Amino acid sequence: MSHRDELLAVMARSWGDLAAAVAAARATFDRPDDDGWRPRDAVAHIAVWERMATRKIAGTPLPEGEEIAAREPWNLDWFNETMIERWRTRPAANVLAEFAAAHAALVAAVETAEDASCARGGTTWTTIEDDGAGHYALHFPIPDAMAER
């Protein structure tokens, strides 16, 4: 099995866990936690970061917010806050559609990445670990499949 195929398999397992957690959270999609984040905010945040991962791997501009992503100097907190505000009032259906589309774009980017970059420690692996599948467990109670490998 190639490094790319291994990475895609880990991503698929993580996505399955995340999709189940998101489906379970639908009943409380608009209920804020102690920090003020709602499950829908976490879903939008994950979608934004999957788009950022696609940008890093394939050079694909964000479909929305590229001017924010490209801003210099880079400020992670400002980026996150600005992007969440853009998504905060959108209908749940739009958030979920972008969630699925962002993930599909990321999978497509990994499918065309160089195999060596998909090995643990490679640039694609590290991007997925930081901004994709390795990021999910920070926002939903699921196993961290990236760390388990």
What is the pLDDT at residue 146?
A: 81
Residue 148 pLDDT class (50, 70, 90 cuts): confident
The DSSP annotation for the chain comes to --HHHHHHHHHHHHHHHHHHHHHHHGGGTT---TTS--HHHHHHHHHHHHHHHHHHHH-PPPSS-HHHHT-SS--HHHHHHHHHHHHTTS-HHHHHHHHHHHHHHHHHHHHTS-GGGGSTTSHHHHHHHHHSHHHHTTTSS---HHHH-
What integer best gives the mean pLDDT of the chain? 95
What share of the chain has pLDDT > 70, as a percent?
A: 99
Of 142 and 53, more confident: 53
Q: Residue 120 pLDDT > 90, yes or no?
A: yes
- CATH code of the domain in which 129 resides: 1.20.120.450
What count of other Cβ atoms lies within 10 Å of the Cβ of residue 39?
23
Tell me the average pLDDT across 45-51.
97
Tens digit of each residue's pLDDT (9 = 90 or more) over 64-102: 999 999 999 999 999 999 999 999 999 999 999 999 999
Q: How many domains would you assign to the chain?
A: 1
Residue 147 pLDDT class (50, 70, 90 cuts): confident
Q: Residue 50 pLDDT > 80, yes or no?
A: yes
Domain limits for position 73? 3-148
